[in-house]
Homo-oligomer: A and B are copies of this chain.
Amino acid sequence: MKRPLILVCNDDGYKAPGIRALTRVAERYGDVVVVAPVSGQSGMSHAVTLNHPIRLRTVSVNGEVPTYACTGTPADCIKIALNQVLDRKPDLVLSGINHGSNASVSLFYSGTVAAAIEACMNGIPAAAFSVDDHSHETDLSLATRYAGGIIENLLDKGLPKGVCLNINFPRIPPDECKGLKVCRQTIGVWKEEFEKRTDPQGREYFWLTGEFSNEEPDERDTDEWALANGYGAVVPISIEVTHYPSLEQMADWRFDTHHE
């Protein structure tokens, strides 16, 4: 029987410790190909490269695992992997392990999650992995301990069409982790505080900073609660984002009241 084909991507770039750790786990379950950005693409969300060309080169960082560095975004990496690199559709796409949490609404900004969503759009079971620590020196053993079980489930049971997984791990010693919790996306918002500075020419500029604000810190079925309470958080997310209740609520909207 053919071994599963597993495509691995991330948004921190092909050299990041997170993707190398995830690649080593994936190797236990199938034939792995890595297609990842040349350099960091954090905060790039689902951006695609339309206005300049994309380059792709092979690099040697993962032993025998074919690894391609792509000048594009994480979404570009998935697209070019499916279209130019792989000779068949992969059985699984794994993205990460991201250095930094992508829980709650952070998933919207995440290139790591976007890579999983892009795979999901193409009908491939996919999961994004992140640890709640931006440091590239962070301990990844908690995430790698559970990644194997997740890969087994994904290969064995798959996911419904249009659904992928956003998985986050807390920054705690592996032995303190109570396990994984399947949960929902926390409702919250990033409270921005731009830092205004003045350049040597006397002109203003701004740095985007901010702090996540959890709007439902006591809800035990949310991913932020899981992370704050010693669990890894597994959120199944949908790429079909229609808000169905509104379809009916908007039935009384009249659009043509003020024709010009």
Contact = CB atoms under 8 A, between A and B. Distances in A.
B48 A46 contact: no
B145 A121 contact: no
A185 B241 CA distance: 7
A238 B236 contact: no
A197 B53 contact: yes
Contacts of A182: 246-247, 250-251, 253
A247 B145 contact: no
B109 A121 contact: no
Nearest to A166: B241
B149 A257 contact: yes
A246 B163 contact: yes
B237 A241 contact: yes
A256 B149 contact: yes
Interface string A217-239: 00000000000000010111111
B48 A43 contact: yes
A82 interface: yes
Contacts of A237: 241-243
A107 interface: yes
Interface of A: 40, 42-51, 53-56, 72, 75-76, 79-80, 82-84, 105, 107-109, 114, 117, 121-123, 141, 144-146, 148-150, 152-153, 157, 159-160, 162-163, 179-180, 182-185, 187, 189-190, 192-194, 196-197, 203-208, 210, 232, 234-247, 249-251, 253-260
